[in-house]
Chain A
Amino acid sequence: MTELHEATVTELGERLRRREVSAVELADAQLERIELLNPELNAFLRTTPELAREQAQAADERLARGDAGPLTGIPVAIKDVLCVRGVETTAGSQILRGFRPPYDATTVARLKEAGAVIVGMTNCDEFAMGSSTENSSYGPALNPWNRGRVPGGSSGGSAAAVSAGLAAFALGTDTGGSIRQPAALCGVVGMKPTYGAVSRYGLIAFASSLDQVGPFTRSVTDAALVLDAIGGHDPRDSTSAPRQLDVMGQLEGGVAGLRLGVPREYFEVEGIEPGVAASVRRALDVLEEAGAKLVDVSLPHTEHGLAAYYIIAPAECSSNLARFDGVKYGYSDQTMGSLLDTYLRTRREGFGPEVRRRIMLGTYALSSGYYDAYYLKAQKVRTLIKRDFDEAFERCDAIVSATSPMVAFPLGSRTDNPLAMYLCDVLTLGGNLAGLPGLNVPCGAADGLPVGLQVLAPQFREDVALRVARAYEMASGVMTEVAPV
């Protein structure tokens, strides 16, 4: 029998329902393992043992009554950008140190209703801005496969937690790749749903038109389970779609007869590592052998995606982060008398350098006289990128590529060069600009580090992406493993 910390959500659910283990025992085991390993990994910024035990007890009661769902009693880690009522939620930033939201994010509320047990808040790049978790103002999380390497970002703590067996699953957020890229670098399954498929209410916004909440799991089936629980319309999020996803239905449908698009531009991006390309090619062979038809497709505007993304996302963030002004909550420096001084000092000290850089980029891009040249043009590029995908999806059912051009890189190796860091998202941000569902599924290793396969599907076709990934799991025999920590 697999160890508790290695088991998938599905396995744990069965064991809980068979009463082989109680939810309280499971929570305690999980908290104990976090206590043991987290001081080094720094995947969690804080644990929530009291909340976890309280929820675990309630879960045990539900299990005893026989009204447990698939997530009842399952330990979950929450990225520090999703508000949990009464629990310090900081977005990895000093400016929100000590902030305890009086409300739950909708995704958190839905997990609570489903009976999941929250074990803690995970580390991330400050306000989800970064690709390595090194922009966290609470120190970086480490990659469980190699502690000299980054776990990716921005949801690096969630990826590392699931990879290291510190939680059965985790929630993250993905604005340009922040679920899929760390999932790839840590060797776990990570999924960004269609924009609008999952509520953003209570997600501390980075870029509102791009942000989505999604799961990190150790199996594709688990990802579908979690998505089912957190997805669906939310009247408090006007951008959430009035529809319920059906992700479980076709999960085992296989890939026989499916057309998988291979975008040539995605295999020629700057900085793609040969080991990554080779692993992904082998994964495509596996899928072909399993009956998929590989078709060449083109996404001609790929090269402009990064530029468009790094205008739109900072523009939105410059406005979204204006509320952190030292007036209402969070960090406030009022040592100098004037209002302007309070603003300047609070924001200069409260925000880290990458956040300040993006606020400045975005403020500039929206400024009078520059708006047309930057923001408006970036929106036009976004439309072209969407059109690229629309055209590609006329020829295929899903698009497959590497998730990250590179495997987990050494800590500190890209921090001096923001552009090198931004290149980490080059294969993922197109999915955000076009609002597509996309996931990462582990597909072997290069240099002893995990490599991830990305599957993108048309809007609201999460079922197709999951079906392809599930078929890959089955055909390859490559199952997500807990890192040997």
Chain B
Amino acid sequence: MTWETVIGMEVHVQLKTRTKMFCRCSSDYMGQAPNTHVCEVCLGMPGVLPVINKAAVEQCLKAALALECDVAEWTKFDRKNYFYPDLPKGYQISQYDLPMSREGRLELDGRTVRITRVHLEEDTGKSVHAGDSLHGAERSYVDLNRAGIPLMEVVSEPDLRSSDEARAYAQALRGLMRAIGASDADMEKGQLRAEANVSVRRVGEAELGVKTELKNINSFRALKLAIDHEVSRQISVLEGGGSVSQETRGWDEARGVTYSQRSKEFAQDYRYFPEPDLPPLEISRSWLDSLRAGLPELPAAQRSRLEAAGLSASTASLIVSSQLGDYLDAAVAAGAPLAPAANWLVGEIAPNLDEREALPADRLAQIVVAVEAGRLNREQGKQVLREAWESGRDPEEIVRERGLEQVSDDSALEGWVAEAIEAQPQAVSDFKSGKQQAFGALMNEVKQRSGGRADMKRASELLRQRLS
């Protein structure tokens, strides 16, 4: 019996703004002492009122546009009411029935994930429990530095079919947020929080199974693991004749399992109603147009442009997801041909980006051009790249100084070829008796004798002539 996994995602993204959603407190709170980035507004003191941060609205609108959503002409805020110590007002200002935008899409390697809605709200504070566990905690503390940070929620339709797709979706969303500058979307820092609505059904069935909502997921890896665990749990429940109950489940990273947090019967009634302290917000089409005009090339468009220009799907994908599209464009603008530049980027630059800032694109272009023109061979190119990157020096200078320039002059090459033939008589006779691999040994000898400077392509032609 085969089962199909169905996943919809709810992703919260902290938006990058200088100040909080409804007050002027700095939103640069990470790593700061508790309750130092607060004021009477985000502390929810009596009588205070919220004022909408325009920059947060713009970040949310940019994200909505990037997700190809229909943006509302009128939107409003609503109160989501519940009690918790890290929620200072006793309600969260969120959006209920008139969100900022609806019905968008995110392209995922040939698959379209439909976006249900993108809306804007405020983050809550954080509870800190002193002790071994929540229930065993001796004291609990509240840090409200995070309270009121602009938070965007992106809700998808249940269009994902595996944990890998769910992870790819979250990663694509992160890439998109970074590309448009809406968020750093670092999952470990809680700037991107993914919740997965997971259900399973028998292959071919049209109706969706009962879903569970997975929370406490702090990394892309955890997202995949939590979904995998939950899918197998649901399948074994169903195959054992039981039924899945609709509930919220937490991911226990240490034990590698999901556990029940809150069942549907205890689901909160949030008593949403329109926020009377904020008038409805009109989003003029001219405002939207100017935001759209300011958007950079979006990942999906970049990927198809690169593919159309001749890159393989996987190379294009890799460049886009590593956010190296602009870098590649700059290298091409500096004279490097696209496909080789992309290969150098993927092979030599991307793997080392964690350690240091990228080599300036024009320097990479110099090296690519030199290799393509035959002035350097591949090995020399790599060597120059490493050195130029580490030292910050001009590649041309390194080539000159180290005498690395490739030798393509036939007379010099013929000299090295002759030396190689003389040094390896056995290989010569092996090759003549049909052993093709002996040719490699001779070429290696040419390389050695030339100090790595020989134009290997031309040398191989000359060697073949001599042996025939």
Contacts and interface: CB of A to CB of B under 8 A. Distances in A.
A375 to B, nearest CB: 6
A96 interface: yes
A464 B45 CA distance: 36
Contacts of B271: 318-319, 363, 366-368, 371
A387 to B, nearest CB: 19
Contact of B51 (A204, A235, A339, A375): A235
Interface in B275-291: 276-279
Contacts of A101: 40, 45-47
Interface string B262-278: 00000001011100111
Contacts of A368: 269, 271
Interface stretch (B79-87, B241-249, B305-313): B79-87
Interface residues of A, number: 45
Contacts of B273: 315-316, 319, 366, 371, 375
Nearest to B23: A236
Nearest to A95: B46
Contacts of A205: 46-47, 277
B248 to A, nearest CB: 17
B46 A204 contact: yes
Given A202-B48, A322-B83, A339-B85, A208 B40 contact: no
Interface string B28-70: 0000000000001001111111111000000000000000000
B267 to A, nearest CB: 9
A363 B83 CA distance: 13
Contacts of B44: 323, 328
Interface in A77-96: 81-83, 89, 91, 96
A324 B85 CA distance: 11
Contacts of A200: 47, 49
A209 interface: yes
Nearest to B267: A368
B340 to A, nearest CB: 56
Contacts of A393: none
A311 B269 CA distance: 18
Interface of B: 40, 43-52, 79, 81, 83, 85, 88-91, 140, 142, 269, 271-273, 276-279
B174 to A, nearest CB: 32
11 contacts: A81-B47, A89-B46, A202-B48, A236-B51, A239-B278, A315-B273, A316-B273, A319-B90, A319-B271, A319-B273, A327-B88
Q: Which of A105, A319, A368 has the most CB atoms of chain B within a 10 A radius of its CB?
A: A319
Contacts of B276: 207-209, 239, 316
Given A203-B47, A209-B276, A339-B140, 12 more contacts: A236-B51, A316-B276, A318-B271, A319-B90, A321-B90, A322-B81, A322-B91, A323-B44, A325-B85, A327-B142, A366-B81, A371-B273
Contacts of A209: 276
B107 to A, nearest CB: 36
Contact of B88 (A203, A238, A239, A323): A323
Given A105-B47, A366-B81, A322 B90 contact: yes
Contact of A239 (B40, B79, B90, B277): B277
